Amino acid sequence: MRAEQAEGGQDAATAPGAAVVTGTVLGVVVLLCAHLDWAPFVGNSTGPDQLVGLVAGGILLGVSLLVWAIKSLYLLGRQRRWSWKVAAVPVVVLAGLVAGLAFQPGSFDSARPEMEEVAVEMLREDGPNTRQDLSLGGLEISSAQRRPDGRVYFYDADGFVGSTVRGWVYSPGAEPAESGARRFEKLSGDWYSFVFTID
């Protein structure tokens, strides 16, 4: 009886525990949030926010997987025992991979039809106008502005980093002119991406 208790206690001590599974779940969730550009407590995440999330999630997941590997190898190889706790971590990681492949972050390509609809609508209206806080095709747009030059600028809510602003411009008929602080790159049709540097 004591031998069985000792073996059961040793099994529980060496099997990957709840802390390893919890660390794995948290690491996977943080990485998924960074991948999907979703920060539940920050609001809109920027590029640096995503980088911090990727590093933090990667470290947490890496440490958890290292501890899981050591404990699992000891339990299976040295003690020749099995525990359901060994399978919990791979299941969590696999679920995270499947979720990461199934759900993709918003991109210009996915948002373009809705953005073009808004741009055409704004160009039909008279004079300059602005629309704030738009969510188009999975992209968060802080503002869409029709300028007097007949173009509609969409400012990426994640594109404000330091003195740099990023976004897209709908410019029918003419390519926007670059300057030292304004750079444009043609995408397709009447669409261009832009990077503005604010002094």
- CA separation for the pair 110, 108 (Å, rounded): 5
43 token code pair = 């609001």
pLDDT tens, residue by residue, 17-58: 888 888 989 999 888 887 777 766 555 566 666 778 888 889
> Please, is 124 exposed, middle or buried when counting C-beta atoms within 10 Å of its C-beta (0-12, 13-18, 19+)?
exposed
127 token code pair = 């004079």
Residue 196 backbone dihedrals phi, psi, to 5 degrees: -110, 140
Which carries the bigger pLDDT value, residue 14 or residue 141?
141
- Sorting pLDDT into bands at 50, 70 and 90, what band is 173? confident
- Sorting pLDDT into bands at 50, 70 and 90, what band is 5? very low
Q: What percent of the chain stands above pLDDT 70?
A: 82
Once rounded to an integer, what is the mean pLDDT over residues 5-16? Answer: 51
pLDDT for the residue 161: 67
Residue in the block written with tokens 């390519």: 175
194 token code pair = 């832009």
- Sorting pLDDT into bands at 50, 70 and 90, what band is 77? confident
State how far Cα 116 lies from the chain centre: 24
pLDDT tens, residue by residue, 83-126: 777 888 899 999 988 888 877 766 777 888 888 898 899 888 87
Asked if residue 156 lies in contact with residue 169, where contact means CB atoms within 8 angstroms, the answer is no
Whether 65 has a pLDDT exceeding 80, the answer reads: yes
pLDDT for the residue 135: 82
Amino acid at 59: I
Average pLDDT in the chain: 79
pLDDT for the residue 41: 57
State how far Cα 165 lies from the chain centre: 19
| Radius of gyration, CA atoms only, the chain | 25
pLDDT for the residue 42: 57
